[in-house]
Each structure stands twice: as structure tokens, then as C-alpha cells.
């Protein structure tokens, strides 16, 4: 078997044919306006494709065909076993095209090829499989009622679901929306981020090949506009969003201004990672703390961006942490040996560097702090660690880059107070050998996911994922996600 080296992937990239058109009603189409935007690779700053810049006409078109498909019951009317079979076929095709989709993802978003081939694309295929397998096993209820009644409670698809998703895990975050939405029988209009549209565009053709009927799965790339137009559209029944808290707030308003569509939000985070003096394994905790913020260039909604360390172990722990951080060396993400790739684009690069500048003024720089490999034309930042006060700007705002804020605390109560003192509540972690402390602290942490003696574990689809507070509402993953894409119906039949 051919070794998949940097030059292997560069060769593949050179011969790759990239589709940049929207996918509407079972076919690739240019934007009605004919407009395109440049898709720029953060690896070297070069334009790799022209992508359809969809506008109002395209949004109306996609929503109309999604509605038509739903009304005709072309998908929702199928026996769930049939839907399952088609979705499973799609997952097989996703795996068959794994290298190609992973390469698109790496070129488009700068993510290491070693991750896109093992996490992003297989993770999306797994998500499709998981919801496909669930859908013919989840039924309704026959509920206690007056003797003269038969009472049924059923779940019905909600109709047209729009999914607006971010660029940090483009295909994976999209799958967390479209897999449960399609499994439940809805039509979907997927709006990928302008920064990373290529994988979503590619998999639409595979959905069609697998047998998903025309109009049921549509992909609308575009620069910001289609997301807003979908959120304002009166024929969209549900808008599932992953992205920033600021845009999430706007989307709720758009729903209020239009048809009160159901809005589900997975938003930002500033997750605390608490290390107590009785941490069972400081080496493992240091590696996990580094991975929590430097994996995927820190472009993680669950990033452990606030490291809370007890004063007694601070010096020993920070030494281990900076050692672990040094093993993340940014480089060409097409190189399978590279664990840290490029920041997604110039806008995000400048944003992160701006926070680093702010950090230099208000905190103590312990490691990193610079842009690297500028001559490549790409966007690379080295792992960066600050020791900072709890109320510094870099310790409060989501940076979404490889920048860690270390905060020292003196007691458990203090740690919990700092951890919860945030507008966010997506994830949190605590390291301790004491079973009672572990459970008590977990209960007190206001976050949708709590890790004990680990960070970022839980690839299984069985765990609901989402945030408390301004990290969002609703949950992706698990059977609970199906609730977002269904309406509950009570049917009462009078017998006599
Ligand atoms: P973003 O700027 O909010 O964009 C997210 C999506 O919304 C993109 O597709 C974007 O399209 C679209 N959009 C932008 N403005 C819009 C508007 N006014 N109305 C409707 N849609 C609009 O977020 P991002 O920079 O892509 O992603 C980073 C954020 O996502 C971070 O805050 C991160 O924490 C969060 N995130 C959360 C989770 C989670 O599960 N909780 C997971 C991953 C990321 P354009 O790209 O075309 O502008
Ligand atoms: Mg891109």
C-alpha cells in the first residue's frame, strides 16, 4: 500500500477536482445571480475554488423544493426501515470517499490530515449510521386516559429544517444536525460556513447517489447572507445553528420577526479545566490540558481555554504543561506527522493575534505568542500560554485559537466560583482523586458536559452535547437530538 506522506497528499490535492456549486433539488447549480466567492486555503493563502455565492433567489428555491419534497412525503412517507437503508448507504459512500472529503476539509479549513481522516469524516459517517440505526426503533406512546378514549402520543417530523454551521469541524458539526433531522423524516437545507463550504457541497452528491430523494437534502454556500435569509424565512420550520453566541442571538430575533420557527443553538464557550492538588496523574492532566486547547488549533467550542490550577501545584504543573504544549508544532496540515495546522483564515488569524496582543498587556506570557511560517502565505500561530488574573479579557472572552489562560486558585469554592463566573456553560473538567469531591464539584459546575480526570473524551454518539447559559439551548447527539427535529402530537380517539 502506498505510504500517505506529505507528497502523496500534495499530489492528490493537485489533481483534485473541486465542486463549488450549490446543490438544490438533486443537482449542482450556480447561484441565480451567477456570483461566486473565492475559497482560500489557509495552508498557503491560495484560492483553490470559486464557490457559488447564494442569495435570496437560491434560498427561496431551496426552501421551496424542500417544502415540496416534504409535502409529497417523498422521504417522510417512507417506511423508517427504508430511510435507514438509504442513510446507511450514504454512510458507506462517505467512508468510501473518506480520503477525498478529508482532503477537501484539510485544504479548506487547515485542519491536520491526520485528524480529518480519523476524526472528522469517520465521525460524520458514524453520526449518519447512528441516527439511521435508531430511527426504526424509536416509537410513540399509548398513554393512560379516560376509559372511552385511546390516547396516542407520536413524534412527527417538523418539516423544513435549515442547518447553519461553523467552520471548525465543518462536516462533523453539519452531520450532528442533518443526520437526526433526516432520520426523523425532515427535508434539510444546509448552509456551511463561507470559510469551509467544500465538504458539505461534496457530500450532497453522495446523498443523492445513496437514494435520498431530490429536494430532501440541499446545500447552499454563501457569504453570510443565506444564513440570515433562512433564519428569516417563513417557510423554514426549524433552524439548527452552531456558531457564535452573537449570531445565535440574532437568529432568535429573526425567528421572532418571522414565523417563530424552532431555533436550536450550539454556541461558544470558555470552558474551565480545574486541577486540584490531589489530581491522580499530573503528567496525564498536563497532556490533556494542552490537548484541550491546542488540538484543532484551539478552534474548539469545548476548548479548555481557562486552566484553573491550585496554588500548591502550580509550578510543577505549569512546567509539565509547557512541555506538553511544545509538542504542538504548527506546520503544513497535509503532512500526516503534523499535529497542528493552520488557522482557518486571515480574519480569524488577526482576531487571535489581537487577543495575544491584549494578553501581552494584561497578563504574563509563559509560552509562544507569535505567528509562524509567514513565508508560506498561510496562517499559523504557535501554542500560547498566559498566566492571568481571572477577570482579564483573555480569560473571559472566547478566543477560538491556541491561547490558554492559566488562573491560580486557593480553594475548591474559589475554583467553582471562577469556573461558573462566565456567560458560557458548554463544558468543564475537574481533576481529583477524591470521589466525593469529583461528584460534588461536577454537580456545582454549570455546564452541559463535565469531564472528571479527562478532557474531551466521549466520541460516542450516546452523550447529549450542548450548553448551559449563553452556550446555547437544546442538545446535539444522542436520542435527545431527535426531539429537536420532531413535533409531539397527541391524538385522542373516542371509542363511544
Ligand atoms: P459564526 O460567525 O457565528 O458563523 C456560524 C454560521 O452562521 C456560519 O455558517 C455563518 O455564515 C452564519 N452566519 C453569520 N452571520 C449570520 C447571520 N446574521 N444570520 C444567520 N447566519 C449567519 O461562527 P463561526 O465563526 O463560524 O464559528 C465559531 C463559533 O462557533 C465559536 O463561537 C464556537 O464556540 C462556536 N461553535 C460552537 C459549537 C457547539 O457545538 N457549541 C461547535 C463549534 C463551534 P458565514 O460563514 O457565511 O458568515
Ligand atoms: Mg476555507
Q: DSSP state, 156?
A: E
* Average of per-residue pLDDT values in the chain: 98
Question: Of 229, 251, 267, which residue sits at a domain end?
Answer: 267
Whether 268 lines ligand 1, by a CB cut-off of 6 Å, is yes
| 262 and 283 together in one domain | no
Rg (CA), the chain: 23
| 305 and 358 together in one domain | yes
| 299 and 364 together in one domain | yes
**Counting ligands in written order, which one lies closest to the CA of residue 298?**
1
Residue 21 pLDDT > 90: yes
What's the CA gap between 55 and 58, in Å, rounded? 5
pLDDT confidence of residue 452: 98
Q: Is residue 435 part of a domain?
A: yes
| 400 and 440 together in one domain | yes
Q: Is residue 483 part of a domain?
A: no
Question: Of 267, 295, 314, which residue sits at a domain end?
Answer: 267
- Closest residue (by CA) to atom 35 of ligand 1? 243
Q: Is residue 482 part of a domain?
A: no
| 258 and 282 together in one domain | no
Whether 299 lines ligand 1, by a CB cut-off of 6 Å, is no
| 258 and 291 together in one domain | no
Helices (H) and strands (E) in the chain, counts: 16, 24
- Output the domain CATH number for residue 367: 3.40.309.10
Please, are residues 132 and 158 in contact by the beta-carbon 8 Å criterion? no
Q: Is residue 59 part of a domain?
A: yes
- Give 349's contacts (C-beta < 8 A, 6+ positions apart): 42, 343, 371, 379, 381
Name the pLDDT band for 223 (thresholds 50, 70, 90): confident
> For the chain, what is the domain count?
2
| Cα 241 to ligand 1 centroid, rounded to whole Å | 8
* Percent of the chain residues topping a pLDDT of 70: 100
> How much is the pTM?
0.97
Mean pLDDT of 101-130: 98
- Closest residue (by CA) to atom 32 of ligand 1? 244
Whether 448 lines ligand 1, by a CB cut-off of 6 Å, is no
Q: Which domain holds residue 283?
A: 272-461
Reference 162, options 137, 139, 190, 186; nearest CA is 190
| Cα 332 to ligand 1 centroid, rounded to whole Å | 25
Whether 412 lines ligand 1, by a CB cut-off of 6 Å, is no
| Cα 457 to ligand 2 centroid, rounded to whole Å | 27
- Closest residue (by CA) to atom 18 of ligand 1? 228
**Counting ligands in written order, which one lies closest to the CA of residue 104?**
2
Mean pLDDT of 92-121: 98
Q: Is residue 422 part of a domain?
A: yes
What residues are labeled active site? 266
| 191 and 292 together in one domain | no
Q: What are 255-280's pLDDT values in tens digits?
A: 999 999 999 999 999 999 999 999 99
What's the CA gap between 345 and 471, in Å, rounded? 24
| 237 and 333 together in one domain | no
pLDDT confidence of residue 2: 79
| 113 and 200 together in one domain | yes
What 3-state DSSP class applies to 453?
coil
Question: Of 246, 267, 288, which residue sits at a domain end?
Answer: 267
Q: Is residue 188 part of a domain?
A: yes
Q: Is residue 487 part of a domain?
A: no
Mean pLDDT of 53-65: 98
| 252 and 313 together in one domain | no
- Closest residue (by CA) to atom 21 of ligand 1? 227
Please, are residues 348 and 340 in contact by the beta-carbon 8 Å criterion? no
- Closest residue (by CA) to atom 38 of ligand 1? 301
| 350 and 420 together in one domain | yes
Residue 32 pLDDT > 90: yes
Mean pLDDT of 344-363: 98
Q: Is residue 206 part of a domain?
A: yes
Identify the weakest region by mean pLDDT among 172-176, 224-228, 249-253, 464-468: 224-228
| Cα 236 to ligand 2 centroid, rounded to whole Å | 27
Whether 165 lines ligand 1, by a CB cut-off of 6 Å, is yes
What 3-state DSSP class applies to 473?
strand
- Output the domain CATH number for residue 124: 3.40.605.10
Which of the listed residues 189, 194, 229, 243 should we mutate to test ligand 1's pocket, taking the one with most ligand atoms within 8 A of CB?
243
Whether 345 lines ligand 1, by a CB cut-off of 6 Å, is no
CA torsion, ordered 51, 54, 59, 62, to nearest 10 deg: -30
pLDDT confidence of residue 238: 98
Residue 342 pLDDT > 90: yes
Looking up cell 423524516 gives 185
Mean pLDDT of 348-373: 98
| 242 and 320 together in one domain | no
Whether 472 lines ligand 1, by a CB cut-off of 6 Å, is yes
CA torsion, ordered 354, 243, 465, 24, to nearest 10 deg: -150
Amino acid at each position: 500500500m502506498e505510504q500517505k506522506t506529505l507528497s502523496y497528499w500534495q499530489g492528490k490535492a493537485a489533481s483534485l477536482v473541486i465542486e463549488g456549486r450549490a446543490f438544490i433539488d438533486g443537482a449542482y447549480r450556480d447561484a441565480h445571480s451567477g456570483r461566486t466567492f473565492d475559497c482560500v486555503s489557509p495552508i498557503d493563502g491560495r484560492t483553490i475554488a470559486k464557490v457559488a455565492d447564494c442569495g435570496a433567489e437560491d434560498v427561496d428555491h431551496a426552501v421551496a423544493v424542500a417544502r415540496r419534497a416534504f409535502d409529497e412525503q417523498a422521504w417522510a412517507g417512507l417506511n423508517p426501515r427504508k430511510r435507514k437503508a438509504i442513510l446507511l448507504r450514504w454512510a458507506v459512500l462517505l467512508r468510501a470517499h473518506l480520503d477525498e472529503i478529508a482532503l477537501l476539509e484539510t485544504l479548506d479549513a487547515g485542519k491536520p490530515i491526520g485528524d480529518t481522516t480519523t476524526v472528522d469524516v469517520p465521525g460524520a459517517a458514524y453520526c449518519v449510521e447512528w441516527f439511521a440505526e435508531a430511527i426504526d426503533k424509536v416509537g410513540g406512546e399509548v398513554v393512560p386516559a379516560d376509559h372511552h378514549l385511546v390516547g396516542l402520543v407520536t413524534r412527527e417530523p417538523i418539516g423544513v429544517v435549515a442547518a447553519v454551521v461553523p467552520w471548525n469541524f465543518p462536516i462533523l458539526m453539519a452531520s450532528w444536525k442533518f443526520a437526526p433531522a433526516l432520520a426523523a423524516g425532515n427535508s434539510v437545507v444546509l448552509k456551511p460556513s463561507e470559510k469551509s463550504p467544500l465538504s458539505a457541497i461534496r457530500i450532497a452528491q453522495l446523498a443523492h447517489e445513496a437514494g435520498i430523494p431530490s429536494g430532501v437534502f440541499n446545500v447552499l454556500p454563501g457569504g453570510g447572507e443565506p444564513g440570515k435569509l433562512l433564519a428569516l424565512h417563513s417557510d423554514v420550520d426549524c433552524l439548527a445553528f452552531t456558531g457564535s453566541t452573537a449570531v445565535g442571538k440574532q437568529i432568535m430575533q429573526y425567528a421572532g420577526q418571522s414565523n417563530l420557527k424552532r431555533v436550536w443553538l450550539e454556541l461558544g464557550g470558555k470552558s474551565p479545566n480545574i486541577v486540584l492538588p490531589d489530581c491522580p496523574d499530573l503528567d496525564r492532566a498536563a497532556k490533556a490540558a494542552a490537548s484541550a486547547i491546542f488540538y484543532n488549533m484551539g478552534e474548539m467550542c469545548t476548548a479548555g481555554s481557562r486552566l484553573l490550577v491550585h496554588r500548591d501545584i502550580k509550578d510543577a504543573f505549569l512546567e509539565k504543561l509547557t512541555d506538553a504544549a511544545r509538542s504542538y508544532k504548527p506546520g503544513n496540515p497535509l503532512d500526516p506527522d503534523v499535529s497542528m495546522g493552520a488557522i482557518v483564515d486571515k480574519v480569524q488569524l488577526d482576531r487571535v493575534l489581537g487577543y495575544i496582543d491584549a494578553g501581552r498587556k494584561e497578563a504574563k506570557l509563559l509560552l509562544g505568542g507569535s505567528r509562524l511560517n509567514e513565508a508560506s502565505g498561510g496562517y499559523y500561530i504557535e501554542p500560547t500560554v498566559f498566566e492571568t488574573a481571572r477577570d482579564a479579557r483573555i480569560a473571559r472572552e472566547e478566543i477560538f485559537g491556541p491561547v490558554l489562560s492559566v488562573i491560580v486558585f486557593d480553594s475548591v469554592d474559589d475554583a467553582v466560583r471562577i469556573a461558573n463566573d462566565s456567560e458560557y456553560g458548554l463544558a468543564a473538567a475537574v481533576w481529583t482523586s477524591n470521589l466525593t469531591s469529583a461528584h460534588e464539584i461536577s454537580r456545582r459546575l454549570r455546564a452541559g458536559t463535565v469531564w472528571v480526570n479527562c478532557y474531551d473524551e466521549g466520541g460516542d454518539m450516546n452523550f447529549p452535547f450542548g450548553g448551559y447559559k449563553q452556550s446555547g439551548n437544546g442538545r446535539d447527539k444522542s436520542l435527545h437530538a431527535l426531539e429537536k427535529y420532531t413535533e409531539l402530537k397527541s391524538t385522542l380517539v373516542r371509542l363511544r
